[in-house]
Every structure is written in structure tokens, then in C-alpha cells.
Amino acid sequence: MYQIFIGSLILSIIHALIPNHWLPLIAVGKTEKWTQSQTLWATVITGTAHTLSTIIFGIAAGFIGYRMSAKYSIISETIAPGILIGLGLIYICLGFLRHSHHHSFDLKPVTSKPGHQKSRWIAVLTSLSIAMFLTPCIEIEAYYFQAGTIGWIGIFIVSVVYLVTTVGVMLLLVYLGISGVKTFNAHFLEHHEKGITGVVLIGLGILALIIKF
């Protein structure tokens, strides 16, 4: 069971560290002259919208894994880990091809009509939330399939860890960014996120083959 938790935690942290998840929020906040509180609340709301859409698809993938593994043991023993490894190889290949586009959040400031600052904040926040909700994370869906092979507890663990970790890390990075703290050089991660994700997926797939979840 702890393997599912650790795997979910690693994927969630990598996912949240991708600059296009949190850097646009800092940029929009400064452009719109949001307060620190408004920017942080925007991060919580948009991050939650993004993770919820991912969880919805993930539960469906996990349910398929659960139903199939209940009838065929080869699903949990071989096929599910194989899917993780296969997806990892695809991500690595895409990284080599320099297709670093993951799920793009083209979060540009929204120009609203002159009015109350709160109305502007709501207008921009709504646009960002919709953009985030419509771009679910892909790689975690395969992990949901793997987690589903141990039952609903696996699906629950991935969902909770993914939601809390993703929103929490995004919130931390945005807070550090608007506080003027230089967090880290995101250039390497931005251009190698597919390769890093691929290596992690392959590692989790191999672990699943060796150790029965």
C-alpha cells in the first residue's frame, strides 16, 4: 500500500513543479495588481479545479483497473505495470523530440471592463479555473489504473495525495514567488519534464513488477 502512496507523492510533486502550473498565476497576479491574499486564493481555486478534473478521469481509469484485475490476475501483475513502463518510454521519446508541451495553460491576463477590483478578480479567476479544469494531467491517469488493481483504497490514496500535494506545492511556489524569493531555476525542469516524468513512470512500473502492490 505504501508503494502507491510514495508513487503518487512523487508524481504529484513533479507535476506541481512544472512552471506552467504556477508561474502564470504569479504573472497574472502582478499584472492585475492582486493582493497576496487574492493571488494565493486564486492558486488554491485554480489548482483544485485542475486536480479535480484529473481525479474524475482517474477514478474512471482506476475503476477499469479494479474491475479487470478482479477477473484477471495478469492485469495487476503484468499489464498495469507494463502500461506504466510503456507510457514512460513514450514520454522519454517525446522529451528527446523536444516536444515539451505537457498540458499548456496559456493563462494570459483577462481584460475586464473598468469596475470594482473584486469583479476583475472574479472574471480573471473564472477564466483561469476553466482553463485549468479543461487540461487534466495525463500521466497520473495510468497510475490510477495501477492503483485500481488493489481496489478502491488505492484509488482513494492517489486522489487524496494528488489533490493535497499538487495544490500545496503550487501554493508554496506562488507564495515564494510573490514574496520575492527565488525558488529555483525552472528552465531545466520546463524543458525536461517529459523525460523526468517518463523515468519516474518506468521506475514505478518496474517496482510494480518486482513488488506486488
Q: Cell numbers for 143, please give them.
A: 497510475
Distance CA 63, CA 159 (A): 13
Residue 188: the pLDDT is 56
Q: Which residues of the chain have pLDDT under 50?
A: 99-112, 114, 213
Q: What are phi and psi of 186, to 5 degrees?
A: -85, 0
pLDDT of residue 167: 94
Q: Round to whole Å and give the CA distance between 72 and 192.
A: 36
Domain coordinates in residue numbering, the chain: 2-210
- Three-state DSSP state, 90: helix
Name the pTM for this structure: 0.71
- The rounded distance, in Å, linking the Cα atoms of 183 and 177 is 7
* Residue 59: per-residue pLDDT: 93
pLDDT of res. 116: 55
Q: How far apart are CA 205 and CA 163, in angstroms?
A: 22
Predicted confidence at residue 128, as pLDDT, reads 81
- Using alpha carbons, list the distances in angstroms from residue 202 to 15, 46, 113: 16, 29, 49
